[in-house]
A = this chain, B = another copy of it.
Amino acid sequence: MKARIVTLPGDGVGPEVLDAAVAVLHAVAERSGHTFEFESHLIGGCAIDATGEPLPAATLEACKKADAVFLGAVGGPKWSDPQAKVRPEQGLLAIRAALGVYANLRPLQVHPSLASLSPLKNEKLKNVDVLFVRELTGGAYFGAKTRTTDTATDECKYTVAEVERVTRRAFELARERRQHVTSVDKANVLETSRLWRSTVTRVAAEYPDVKLEHQLVDSMAMLLLTQPSRYDVVVTENLFGDILTDEAAALAGSLGLLPSASLGEGKIGLYEPIHGSAPDIAGQGVANPLGAILSAALLLRHSLDLDVEATTIEAAVSHVLTNGPHTRDIGGKAGTADVRDAVIAALDDVA
């Protein structure tokens, strides 16, 4: 097959980890006979510097024509004044909205060889395998905002249709897994959460084979630590998903390992490691590329239907996690390129 992938390296370590992941995709293409065409565009801080806009029109246009969009990270101290009118994060939010990728999938597993890096006790980490489905294009992220000298407001808004589609996605995914969905809200306080809860409950009736449970977001923040292996698919609104997935990421031992896929109605998806631009280590060639490489695997699976190739990348990453080399964040001394090369070499071993 032939696929067009737009890369958005962004800022900080974004370009470094994306380069490594693109090299892995090239290696997969060679071995499988597929053709992946890459086209790189600006987003975030570097786009502000070059064009004044965090999401230039040319970038958006290219993304809309692509089969998949592969993003590094945005932001950094240079653009971090929260009072600034134009901010790198606006580019990220705008591309999510423009592509309509309302379901952000964040899988969490803890590789046995990294359990020692987790702040959680080993016995808690056994059988942890959670798939977060975070609503990504609604809620307080996209609601009306006001600001005067004295007052600020953010509106959190959800429609039934917005909740239905992300809920269906979560239940479809749960069917292929352990048939269990946990929906997280704050229905004892928020009106949007009451709409969320009643909509999820109604949609769940279409999936009698999948068990549904509701949790309040505060309890869930605790349960993720005390009983992490209890959860299969966890579906929640945008801001709760932001907080809970970062909390959960700590369990894996390093943020640098974790991938994400953001999906909408069509095949086009937005793929990004969940770590940020890590300005403290940018430009040093030491960033962990595995979050980006695993995001490339999700890209193959969800946008290109190349499940075998995706699984091969995941197996190669697992091989490298077991045998090394490891970057600093997971206790090793290797650089980004060493890990990239090891993953590529492992593609043949695991195939």
Please, which residue of chain B has its CB at the minimum distance from the CB of A222? B250
* Contact status B192-A153, CB under 8 Å: yes
Q: Which of A138-146, A172-180, A340-348 contacts B (4 or more CB under 8 A)?
A: A138-146
> A121 vs B116: C-alpha distance in the bound complex, in angstroms?
10
Copies in the complex: 2
Report the minimal beta-carbon distance from A114 to chain B, rounded to whole angstroms: 13
Please, which residue of chain B has its CB at the minimum distance from the CB of A117? B226
Chain A residues 152 to 190 lying within 8 A of chain B, measured CB to CB, are 152-161, 186-190
* Contact status B152-A192, CB under 8 Å: yes
Report the minimal beta-carbon distance from A157 to chain B, rounded to whole angstroms: 5
Question: What would be 12 A-B contacts, judged by CB atoms less than 8 Å apart?
Answer: A82-B198, A87-B188, A119-B225, A149-B160, A153-B155, A154-B155, A219-B246, A221-B250, A222-B250, A225-B247, A225-B251, A247-B247
Report the minimal beta-carbon distance from A212 to chain B, rounded to whole angstroms: 14
> A243 vs B118: C-alpha distance in the bound complex, in angstroms?
21
* Contact status A152-B195, CB under 8 Å: yes
* Contact status B194-A147, CB under 8 Å: yes
> A75 vs B188: C-alpha distance in the bound complex, in angstroms?
10
For A255, what are the chain B residues with a Cβ–Cβ distance below 8 Å? 222
* Contact status A187-B82, CB under 8 Å: yes
Q: Is A323 an interface residue (CB 8 A)?
A: no
Q: Which 3 A-B pairs have the closest CB atoms?
A: A152-B195, A82-B187, A221-B247
Please, which residue of chain B has its CB at the minimum distance from the CB of A153? B157
Q: Is A280 an interface residue (CB 8 A)?
A: no
For A198, what are the chain B residues with a Cβ–Cβ distance below 8 Å? 82-83
Please, which residue of chain B has its CB at the minimum distance from the CB of A254? B226
Report the minimal beta-carbon distance from A118 to chain B, rounded to whole angstroms: 8
> A265 vs B198: C-alpha distance in the bound complex, in angstroms?
39
A89-B189, A188-B87, A249-B222 known; A150 vs B154 contact (CB < 8 Å): no
Q: Is A30 an interface residue (CB 8 A)?
A: no
Please, which residue of chain B has its CB at the minimum distance from the CB of A147? B191
Q: Is A282 an interface residue (CB 8 A)?
A: no
